[in-house]
Amino acid sequence: MDMKLELIALPVSDVDRAKAFYVEQFGFIAEHDHDMGDIRFVQLTPPSSACSIAIGRGIVDTEPGSVAGLGLVIANAEEARAELLARGAQVSEVQEFPWGRFVFLSDPDGNRWSLQELPQRG
């Protein structure tokens, strides 16, 4: 059986505010935005990623801001941090661990992300 993780739903309180954050400050690509009354489905994808996030109305019933541990792999932590700061995002300093160099940030509701620069292999 072939399985691929390609969509993660995130709870947000204000869809337009969250969409603006993910597109304008985080640099995601807006793939879909469909409003069907009780349901609004917005799909956003990080550049070069096969996995997207879904935000909206009627998508999930969990508390806005309750998702933690979302991770993206990046090539360079300093460059990623500088780009996010230039876009107006609030990000942590670069933090170093044996398993990589990280930058952390949260969306306007508090859903938490880490950006990981993998350590050199070999």
Q: pLDDT of the chain along its 122 residues, tens only?
A: 999 999 999 999 999 999 999 999 999 999 999 999 999 999 999 999 999 999 999 999 999 999 999 999 999 999 999 999 999 999 999 999 999 999 999 999 999 999 999 998 76
In 21-121, alpha helices (H): 77-86
In the chain, alpha helices (H): 15-20, 77-86
**Cα angle at 48 between 82 and 73, to 5 degrees?**
55
C-alpha 13/C-alpha 17 separation (Å) is 9
Residue 65 has what DSSP assignment? T
Cα torsion 120, 81, 41, 8: sign: positive
Q: Which residues contact 48 (CB under 8 A, 6 or more apart)?
A: none
The pTM for the full model equals 0.94
What residue ranges do the domains of the chain occupy? 7-117
CATH number of 7-117: 3.10.180.10
